[in-house]
Amino acid sequence: MTVLDVRHLRKHFPLRRGLLGRTAGYVKAVDDVSFSIEAGETLSLVGESGCGKTTTSRCILRAIRPSSGEILFRTGTGEQVDVAPLEKKQLRPLRRQMQMIFQDPFSSLNPRMTISEIIGEPLLVNGMTDTTIRNKRVADLLELVQLPSAYLNRFPHAFSGGQRQRIGIARALALNPSLIVADEPVSALDVSVQAQIVNLMLDLQDRLGLAYLFVAHDLSVVKHVSHRVAVMYVGRIVEIAPTTGLFNTPWHPYTEALLSAVPVPDPRRRAQRIVLEGDVADPSNPPSGCHFHPRCQYATDRCRIETPALREIAPGHSVRCLRAEELSLMGVPAA
Amino acid sequence: MSATTAENKVAVASQRQLIWWRFRKHKLALVSAFIVAAFYLVAMFADTIAYTEPFDTQSARSYIPPQPITWFDADGHFHPTVNALKGKRDPRTFKLSYAPDPGETRDLVLFGHGYEYRLFGLIPTDIHLLGVSNSRPQDALFLLGTDQLGRDVFSRLVLASRTSLTIGLVGVVMSLVLGVLLGGISGLYGGWIDVVIQRVIEILRSIPTIPLWMGLAAAVPNSWTPQQVYFAITLIISLIGWTELARVVRGRFLALREEDFITAAELAGASQMRIIFKHMVPSFLSHIIAAVSLALPAMIISETTLSFLGLGLRPPAISWGVLLQDAQNLQTLALAPWLLVVALPVIVVILAFNFLGDGLRDAADPYG
Amino acid sequence: MADEPILSVRDLHTHFFADEGVVRAVDGTSFDLHSGRTLGIVGESGCGKSVTAKSILRIVERPGRIVSGQIMLRRQNGSTVDLTTLPTDGREMRSIRGGEIGLVFQEPMSSLSAFHTIGNQLMEGIRLHKDLSKRAIREQAIELLNMVGIPRPSQRIDSYSFELSGGLRQRVMIAMALAAEPRVLIADEPTTALDVTTQAQILDLIRRLQQERDLAVMLITHDMGVIAEMADDVVVMYLGKEVEKGPVDEIFHAPRHPYTQSLLRSIPSVLAEPRSRLATITGSIPHPFARPGGCPFHPRCPDRHAECETTVPAEVEIGENHVTACHLYTKVPA
């Protein structure tokens, strides 16, 4: 069952110049993005700075308002609602079904509230005013994320980064959402803690049937958590495929370069790497045609003029590249 | 205390407690807090601590130097006394003047009798902190000497403290209300309302204060009492003074809006009201307290300066600035240098407020 | 490769004296840096890797200071000096810092001034260590920018740091670190704040510069992948102590210390099966004020026994240039 169906999502930020703030142009942070997520599935959005993955995730949760496109969300009653055009008031009942886990464990918890209050807040503002019932639910949630209930009256400053992320996860789960958007949930954590949180998220997904939209830049973590992966570059999805397919047989040169750039923790595998020239393209002034062409070693003149469309090249595997069929790209070597 | 108990104590410590603990470490701020508290205590009990009526002029007692207390008598017993006054008529001018008479002493007593007043404005009494045993205080006690009109400087100083320390409070409260309201709206909603408010703030801040005061002082009707005049002017000054606080509040709101925990509250479905009052306000409360503790001395300095220049309160009103006016010219100072002692409490309390404000600000936001 | 180490750290102890207690940020670490070789120092938060770098450069902030140990630098003129004996703000230390030892930080945005052009900052760095005419300095700055791969350096030299991307800024940082032609380069998490493709470029650059200039590189990171890519020798640190030290291949393919083994098992990898769980290390990194007695890792160690709680293990040699501090190996026969 499809929990989320995003169609042709666009978010443009106006560039203001001059004394009176005239609009001089637009930053196409999200430029025609489409994907869907099934219940119990994890789709990862990967890309580098400026690719639009964070903006996409915020649009989906309606923390910001999209410029155009549809965000079809399946509510608890089974109907599909387009949340893109809704007003704040109409969104409130839907809020409880999609929640977020944040990247920074230090700014995602209000330092002036106890963790009992923090986890209980979604319950409180959604009508669970009876304190006893609420406290019980908070205790259950703490148990779900494997934190001792003795911690209920403590304040966030008493906890480590990993523990705070667990608290954030407990808060996100409070309202029984069907979709959780995780925005770089483990990037700020130590390696050993990262492992614990990744495992926790996988366990919770199995137990509760959650769908995750996992936004990340770390491809190694993405390999562990995803069913499918979408690679974004300057506001567009350039490739989307099941995890194994994307990592083993990428069809887009950017994906190939990304995979080759990830340092592998094995000194015997210091293979020849594809080192890209130049910097990530500027979303306020992207290159013509295929945005990636200036850095692409396979680019031809056609790539500079024509904008490729996202098309299916193998079952469930789509790519945005004019030359995809001609190229034979290198994925990660088999373990 | 074992490591775990200490850890536990810190773990359940609310933000307020953490701030208090941090503040406690700041010794200077702690001392300053006591000093400020002491000053306001004096202001509250001003009439009790003073022993002579401030308007009791006696030209014969003019320019008497400060009379020290002799703490121990000839035998070494603790027996505080002061010298009595002796009248003397100048043979040529027939002007009566008083001078201290070392031969005659009066015993100093605690809680002696003096002029009548109402404690807290309610309870009529005539008990003052200090008195003399067999005389009226105004004839014997001159701890800081007298001024040109024979008025006791110590008593006037104490009563001036009350005026100077409290008159700024109204202005600060007004600034507070306006500052938080307008700064909050500005920071929270942004957009054109933010632009308008910010430009207004900039215009107000660029108006030079002293010419403004002079203009306002001239515009106020003559029929008003000095207190009414001052009150009106303070009000108008605070209508300009709110700008500083507004900017601080706006800055905090702007920063807070981007915080993840605010987004999390929005996503949970919290109402705008709840987000403002439960999440945002507690976050900048400590900043406001710090800003207020720095706005108050600014008010005090304003009043003192303006009264000193003759633009604020005028005699017969008493404030530090008014008292300092007496010390304005060099001749007076040469004759009666003790009149300058009024500057001392001003300096001390302003410094104390500043250290206190700094301490509060550092405790509230060690990284800010 | 020179046989004599160019920088030798011996039993370094750097402690922080806070009101609440003493934090032994670096608690006895020793290693050598050789020209043309990269030493990787790896560990998680609180392991002391950054403090080690700062100790070498004598820029440890208060209330921290070096309590004991030696940092022997073999200088250009052949003499050896113990950096711990030099006054932190003295002329000699200042000429070494940025001169013979270059440093690259993690956050290029905060390390570069926003108020000066990158050219100004670069030229200032050169001027501090070389006595040349203004024009010569500018030419050298342009040459440095070119060396680190900044396109159109003669124009870029007059840009401000905020006009450059993260990758370009980090290249400028590297140029500044190399301005005075140091023999040692200390890079503290140089690529952590960068995108992965940019990271590849920067690591590539560091490697190339090392080969060209025979630099001794000390690379500090938490990323085992970067270590595997770049390091010749590795020091693994935990809570201020070094737990294992050896050639990179040994560390990755024959790790001995339980922490190293657990750490390697818990790293996510692009080679893993999708949706596979990661191995975890039980517990979490203790608070610096609540450091365990005996071996610092023992509360989380799957192989601990009684001795580990009470006695700090001494370093034992377990292979060629491969040592570890663990009771499991203390009784290894000679």
DSSP string, C76-90: TTS-EEEGGGS-TTS
Superfamily of domain B32-42+157-364: MetI-like (1.10.3720.10)
Q: How confident is the model over B214-229, as a mean pLDDT? A: 74
Position A207 pLDDT exceeds 80: yes
pLDDT in tens, B14-47: 777 777 878 888 888 889 999 999 999 988 888 8
Distance, CA of C172 to CA of C160 (rounded, Å): 11
Q: Looking at the domain A2-97+177-326, which fold is it?
A: Rossmann fold (3.40.50)
Tokens 């604020």 belong to residue: B312
> What ipTM, to 2 d.p.?
0.86
Residues in a beta bridge with B124: B118
- Name every chain C residue with its beta carbon within 8 A of the beta carbon of A229: none
Q: C3 touching B, CB under 8 A? A: no
DSSP string, C94-128: HHHBTTTEEEE-S-HHHHS-SSSBHHHHHHHHHHH
Is there a contact between C290 and B25 if contact means CB atoms under 8 Å apart? no
CA atoms within 13 A on the CB side of A284: 8
Query: Chains B and C: how many Cβ contacts under 8 Å?
Result: 7
- Name every chain C residue with its beta carbon within 8 A of the beta carbon of B25: 19
pLDDT in tens, C19-74: 778 888 998 899 999 999 999 999 988 888 989 999 999 988 888 889 999 999 99
Mutate: best of A54, A89, A94, A110, partner B, most B CBs <10 A? A110
Position C78 pLDDT exceeds 80: yes
Helix (H) or strand (E) holding A32, with range, is strand A22-38
pLDDT of amino acid C112: 80
User: Nearest-CA distance from B267 to chain A in Å?
Assistant: 6
Q: Biggest alpha carbon distance in chain B?
A: 92
Instruction: Pick the more confident residue, A25 or A58.
Output: A58
Residue B366 DSSP SS3:
coil
Distance, CA of C64 to CA of A212 (rounded, Å): 44
Helix (H) or strand (E) holding A236, with range, is strand A236-242
Nearest-by-Cβ selection for B260 from A92, A102, A158: A102
CB B15 within 8 A of CB A111: yes
pLDDT of amino acid C333: 53
Tokens of A273: 């790497």
Position B245 pLDDT exceeds 90: no
Give me the residues of C, 268-307, that contact B with CB < 8 A. Answer: 287, 289-290
Q: How confident is the model over C245-255, as a mean pLDDT? A: 94
pLDDT in tens, B120-179: 777 888 888 887 777 777 777 788 888 888 888 888 898 888 888 887 787 788 888 888
Position A226 pLDDT exceeds 90: yes
Position B6 pLDDT exceeds 70: no
User: Nearest-CA distance from B259 to chain A in Å?
Assistant: 6
Is there a contact between B270 and A121 if contact means CB atoms under 8 Å apart? yes
Is there a contact between C289 and B3 if contact means CB atoms under 8 Å apart? yes
Q: The sheet that has C38-42: what strands, in order across it?
A: C101-104, C184-188, C216-221, C38-42, C233-238, C241-247, C322-324, C316-319
- Name every chain C residue with its beta carbon within 8 A of the beta carbon of A266: 228, 252
Tell me what percent of the residues of chain C surpass a pLDDT of 70.
Answer: 98
Is there a contact between B264 and A108 if contact means CB atoms under 8 Å apart? yes
Nearest-by-Cβ selection for B11 from A98, A122, A155: A155
pLDDT in tens, C79-132: 888 988 888 888 888 888 888 899 888 776 677 888 888 888 888 888 888 888
Tokens 């306002």 belong to residue: B216
Q: A158 touching B, CB under 8 A? A: yes
Is there a contact between C253 and A268 if contact means CB atoms under 8 Å apart? yes
Give the range among A299-308, B24-33, B236-245, B344-353 with minimum mean pLDDT.
B236-245
Q: What average pLDDT does the structure give for chain C?
A: 88
Tokens of A33: 């993005």
User: Nearest-CA distance from C286 to chain A in Å?
Assistant: 9
Tell me what percent of the residues of chain B surpass a pLDDT of 90.
Answer: 6
Nearest CA-CA partner of A185 in A206, A167, A208, A209: A167
> Residue ranges of the domains in chain B?
32-42+157-364, 67-150
Mutate: best of B189, B259, B261, partner A, most A CBs <10 A? B261
DSSP string, A300-318: -HHHHHPPPPPEEEETTEE
**pLDDT band at C1; cut points 50, 70, 90:** very low
Is there a contact between B25 and C19 if contact means CB atoms under 8 Å apart? yes
Q: C109 touching A, CB under 8 A? A: no
Position A304 pLDDT exceeds 50: yes
Query: Chains A and B: how many Cβ contacts under 8 Å?
Result: 73
- Name every chain B residue with its beta carbon within 8 A of the beta carbon of A64: none
- Name every chain B residue with its beta carbon within 8 A of the beta carbon of A126: 268-269
- Name every chain B residue with its beta carbon within 8 A of the beta carbon of C287: 7
Nearest-by-Cβ selection for B12 from A61, A126, A155: A155
- Closest-CA residue in chain C for B1? C20
User: Nearest-CA distance from C250 to chain A in Å?
Assistant: 10
Other chains touching B, judged by 3 or more CB pairs under 8 Å: A, C
Position C305 pLDDT exceeds 80: yes
- Name every chain A residue with its beta carbon within 8 A of the beta carbon of C190: none
Position B1 pLDDT exceeds 50: no
- Closest-CA residue in chain A for B195? A20
Position C142 pLDDT exceeds 60: yes
Helix (H) or strand (E) holding B188, with range, is helix B153-189
CB A294 within 8 A of CB A310: no
Other chains touching C, judged by 3 or more CB pairs under 8 Å: A, B
pLDDT of amino acid B366: 57
Residues sharing a CB contact under 8 Å with residue C297, sequence separation 6 or more, in sequence order = C238, C239, C243, C257, C258, C259
Tell me what percent of the residues of chain B surpass a pLDDT of 70.
Answer: 94
Q: C205 touching A, CB under 8 A? A: no
Position A137 pLDDT exceeds 90: yes
Q: For chain A, first and last CA: distance in Å? A: 33
pLDDT in tens, A146-192: 998 888 888 888 888 889 999 999 999 999 999 999 999 998 888 88
Q: How confident is the model over A68-78, as a mean pLDDT? A: 88
Other chains touching A, judged by 3 or more CB pairs under 8 Å: B, C
Q: The sheet that has C7-18: what strands, in order across it?
A: C21-33, C7-18, C64-74, C80-82
Q: C334 touching B, CB under 8 A? A: no
Strands B96-119 and B78-89: antiparallel
Is there a contact between B3 and C290 if contact means CB atoms under 8 Å apart? yes
- Name every chain B residue with its beta carbon within 8 A of the beta carbon of A96: 268-269
Position B112 pLDDT exceeds 60: yes
Position B367 pLDDT exceeds 70: no
Chain centroid to Cα C221, Å, comes to 7
- Closest-CA residue in chain C for A190? C44
pLDDT in tens, A229-284: 999 999 999 999 999 999 999 999 999 999 988 888 888 887 667 777 777 787 77
Is there a contact between B7 and C287 if contact means CB atoms under 8 Å apart? yes
- Closest-CA residue in chain B for A88? B269
Distance, CA of A143 to CA of A146 (rounded, Å): 5
Q: What average pLDDT does the structure give for chain B?
A: 80
Residues of B near C (Cβ–Cβ under 8 Å) read: 3-4, 6-7, 25
> Residue ranges of the domains in chain C?
247-270+277-324
pLDDT in tens, C207-230: 999 999 899 999 999 899 999 999
The one-character DSSP state at B278 is: I
pTM for the whole thing?
Answer: 0.80
Position A324 pLDDT exceeds 70: yes
**pLDDT band at B368; cut points 50, 70, 90:** very low
